[in-house]
Structure 1
Amino acid sequence: MQLKESLPVYFENTEIAFRDQSNASLKQSYQLFRVMNSRTLVNMGKHLVNLSFAVHFPVEGIIRNTIYKHFVGGVSIEDCSKTIDRLARCKVDSILDYAQEGEESDEAFDTTCREVIRTVEFAANHENVPFSVFKITGVARFDLLAKVSENQSLTDEEQAEYRRVEERVEAIFRKGFELDVPVLIDAEETWIQAVLDDMVMNLMSRYNKEKAIVQNTYQMYRHDSIERIKQHHQMALEGGFKFGLKIVRGAYMEKERNRAAERGYSSPIQPDKPATDKDFDDIIRYFMEHLDSIDFMVATHNEDSSLLLARLIDEYKLPRNYRGIYFSQLYGMSDHITYNLAESGYNVAKYVPYGAVRTMMPYLFRRAEENSSVKGQTSRELKMIRTEIKRRKSRLFQK
């Protein structure tokens, strides 16, 4: 009899995808995605929420029990423990993501830095939390990063401010090195990515001699991403350190195109989605050809790319839980991919954001807008949930 771990992964198995959701929870998810299927309702809801906060209308309870509950792990690291345990029971790991953003002061940046270090310490003591993650814009002022990336001259005060940024970033990765916890740094807009790349590659050379502790992120909707990845990989080979990274399709496409048009330079974005998909899948093949020097995570809600990597792992005759390869999806999305990959024996982790309701609103608005704008995203979620609801009803009638 063939073992389950040797069978191909099948994303249409809704029983596995939603087995940790009660009937009531599943119906609530269905109603939520129905609302997010309408861009009009999403835009209206965004304005109403902002207005409610402005006039101090008590809306937090409603948000907490709906969209927040679906996409957020909790208000604190400790509050996420139940979510982490629930995912772990389904063989899914968690990556805690402190989703603080939009701050401007050194005090706020220092607070975020300390909180990210707490996630590293937490991960070191929890086997189901294999990574930590942060955004450089959570510990640095955006405009300062833009000036450095564009090689503009800095005032003495700005130079001191930038040194504090470098100290925060290094403190996070140093803690990861000391506790043997890989740390992912998220990608940013192209006009501040250069300074991030330089900083991260320098820290890789320092901390990745034995293991990929420092890990960068590359957005494959940029037409230069394959070239950048190969260039950085070559730097790692020449420097004798492990190259660690995550790939995503990307998060700033419209902003990038609009800025390029306004400022009159060539757009850094791929001409169309098929071009992005091709580069995404091509770089996965490249990673598989260089497993001795690359650890990587494929963060995607795309079934085809997930199936490609799953198939390549089997073709290369690697154990499905090969330590240097991870799949990842956002908490609250694409459970049919996450849970079926995990059930088939692959390494898979959910990005689990956490924070107070008010501070999580920018993140939640992006999730809602993403689901209403990405072609087929919400329709796919609705289809899967609807299929599982029907399956459960049918099973009930058969009893």
Structure 2
Amino acid sequence: MVYLVSVLRLPRLVRNHGVFYRFSSTLTSNQEKEISFADHRTAYAHLSHAEILRAWIVLKLCSFDFLLQNSLKVLETSQRVFGKGLLEKILRPTLYDQFVAGDDPQSLKETANKLKQIGVKLMILPSLEEDIGHKSDQNRYNSNVEVTLQLAEIAYQHGGPLSCLQTKITALISADLLLKIAERNRDEENHFRTISTWANYMAGGSFTPVSYLDKQENIELEMGLERLKSVGAFASGLQLRLLVDGEFTYLNRAISIAALSMAGAFNQTRPVVWNTYQCYLKDAFDKICAEFDVTRRMGVGFGAKIVRGAYLERERILSVEGNYPDPTNPSYEATSAVYDRVVQHMVEQVAALGGQRCNVIVASHNETSVLKALSKMESLGILPTDNTVVFGQIYGMASNITVKLASEGYIVYNSVPYGSLFDVLPYLSRRATENRAVLKGTRRERTLLARELRTRFLGF
């Protein structure tokens, strides 16, 4: 009880963060819209007392740098000391339930229904990926396809058309093979030629062997393209949004080839396959402009998930180890400047081309960036119900942004990890290490959670 009271006493300065943010609309004269992300009552009304307290405790733990840096080691050590059974009893009702939808269709359905009650849509995130150095395993990739199609079906069942499903290309094609392709497609014309060839195959054409790959590698590539084709066709048939996640820079060129090839095959009438743009990278603006031009050249729709990014610290280490220029922005502020520039530019493209040709998801926990996007939408006459510029946050975080946007009529998604505890937690620990800046910056949300608890228990 003493601990609970100390939590409730934490934040009396929330108003100093700014209760209201204002931006003017150019659509109507003398009209001003107010959006408050300090509205804890709206943000947490759907949560029980226990869920709010859990969120505060978990986000507080996520603010400690030592735990974030060593989360995977802590997890592995705890598993050896406590054993899987006891560790699951500790972690499932805490970290797992805070950030993960569950590990079976029923638990995913319950999460989807809980989100639907507050007007938030499901964006399923399977914890399927690999890095270079992993042994190529075609059976594993085929199994990943089956899981992805099952999740696509679930996404449609609970969200209907335009529901979102995230995927990683390295879950479907060997990362080592992708690395070789990335290294041989640095020239822009080769890049476009490969995209066109792969898109033609996925649209029903024949496979063209690649000259710099050996016979076995070409067999693996054809099998990989067939997997991409099956996932893209299934998503297109259900009218889903298939969001291809970004990964490490050494793979991203090949990942972009795969994503744009799928776009060439399946984005004929609207954006089905979307690529992800990581704005912690210095070249994010140039990259999104170049890839947008590729889709225009192919005559297909363009979809973009715009994020700050999750691999920053590893990228900096790799640049030092590899003795090449750091590809990342020097600060969070510099990343935010790139992020806002990318969002503003792409919202302009949405307005210019119309919703059937260009869609974007503003995936951000940064209130200022979200407000700038809202202001841009208003100035260009893009309505929330157009479903062309949408928003996204991680499940279990930034509810003050998510719920408020949904209550104002905006289309908002929660990225929801899915899988068993011992499959998902190592994945989440890697994401935690890579997302330290985001997780350490949850003080604002902890303040609002504590304020909500104080209101419920003490009445003020």
**Distance apart, 1:375 and its partner CA:** 7.4
- 1:229-263 Cα offsets, whole Å, 9 max, x none, are 11111222232211111110011111111112222
Indicate the residue corresponding to 1:242 in structure 2. 301
Q: Separation in 2 of the partners of 1:314 and 1:149?
A: 39
Count the aligned residue pairs: 392
**Distance apart, 1:87 and its partner CA:** 0.6
**Distance apart, 1:381 and its partner CA:** 2.4
Indicate the residue corresponding to 1:100 in structure 2. 128
Task: Give yes or no for contact 1:13–1:336 (8 Å, CA) kept in 2.
Answer: yes
Q: Separation in 2 of the partners of 1:45 and 1:375?
A: 13
Indicate the residue corresponding to 2:402 in structure 1. 338
> 1:252 and 2:311 equivalent?
yes
> 1:131 and 2:167 equivalent?
no
Aligned residue among 446, 452, 458 for 1:382: 446
Task: Give yes or no for contact 1:36–1:371 (8 Å, CA) kept in 2.
Answer: no
Q: Separation in 2 of the partners of 1:316 and 1:278?
A: 21
- 1:75-128 Cα offsets, whole Å, 9 max, x none, are 023321111101100000011111133474221211111111112222333336
**Distance apart, 1:363 and its partner CA:** 2.6
Deviates most, 238-247 or 158-167? 158-167
CA spacing shift, 1:48–1:198, aligned 2, 3 Å: closer
> 1:187 and 2:246 equivalent?
yes
- 1:324-359 Cα offsets, whole Å, 9 max, x none, are 111000101111110011011101000111100100
Deviates most, 129-138 or 361-370? 361-370
Alignment of 1:15-164 (within 5 A): 15-42=41-68, 46-54=72-80, 56-58=83-85, 59-102=87-130, 104=135, 105-127=137-159, 130-151=163-184, 153-164=212-223
Task: Give yes or no for contact 1:248–1:299 (8 Å, CA) kept in 2.
Answer: yes
Q: Separation in 2 of the partners of 1:376 and 1:189?
A: 22
Q: Separation in 2 of the partners of 1:367 and 1:231?
A: 28
Indicate the residue corresponding to 2:232 in structure 1. 173
- 1:122-141 Cα offsets, whole Å, 9 max, x none, are 23333367112111122222
Deviates most, 53-62 or 31-40? 53-62
Structure 1 gaps, min length 5: 1-5
Deviates most, 134-143 or 146-155? 146-155
Task: Give yes or no for contact 1:205–1:236 (8 Å, CA) kept in 2.
Answer: yes
Indicate the residue corresponding to 1:3 in structure 2. none
> Which residue identity is paired with 2:92?
R
**Structure index of larger Rg:** 2
CA spacing shift, 1:274–1:99, aligned 2, 3 Å: same
Indicate the residue corresponding to 1:215 in structure 2. 274
Aligned residue among 420, 424, 431 for 1:356: 420
**Distance apart, 1:265 and its partner CA:** 1.6
Q: Separation in 2 of the partners of 1:331 and 1:243?
A: 26
Deviates most, 292-301 or 230-239? 230-239
**Distance apart, 1:45 and its partner CA:** 5.8
> Which residue identity is paired with 2:172?
V
CA spacing shift, 1:317–1:337, aligned 2, 3 Å: same
Q: Separation in 2 of the partners of 1:29 and 1:139?
A: 34
> Which residue identity is paired with 2:315?
E
SS in 2 for 1:321: helix
> 1:273 and 2:332 equivalent?
yes
SS in 1 for 2:216: helix
Task: Give yes or no for contact 1:68–1:364 (8 Å, CA) kept in 2.
Answer: no
Q: Separation in 2 of the partners of 1:45 and 1:184?
A: 27
SS in 1 for 2:159: coil
Q: Separation in 2 of the partners of 1:31 and 1:151?
A: 48
> Which residue identity is paired with 1:149?
A
> Which residue identity is paired with 2:169?
I
Q: Separation in 1 of the partners of 2:434 and 2:246?
A: 17
SS in 2 for 1:8: strand
Task: Give yes or no for contact 2:64–2:440 (8 Å, CA) kept in 1.
Answer: no
> Which residue identity is paired with 2:400?
H
Task: Give yes or no for contact 2:63–2:439 (8 Å, CA) kept in 1.
Answer: no
Task: Give yes or no for contact 1:134–1:184 (8 Å, CA) kept in 2.
Answer: yes
CA spacing shift, 1:36–1:17, aligned 2, 3 Å: same
SS in 2 for 1:125: helix
Deviates most, 184-193 or 23-32? 23-32
CA spacing shift, 1:108–1:169, aligned 2, 3 Å: same
SS in 2 for 1:84: helix
> Which residue identity is paired with 2:391?
F
Structure 2 gaps, min length 5: 1-31, 186-211
> Which residue identity is paired with 2:150?
R
- 1:288-318 Cα offsets, whole Å, 9 max, x none, are 2211232111111111111111122222233
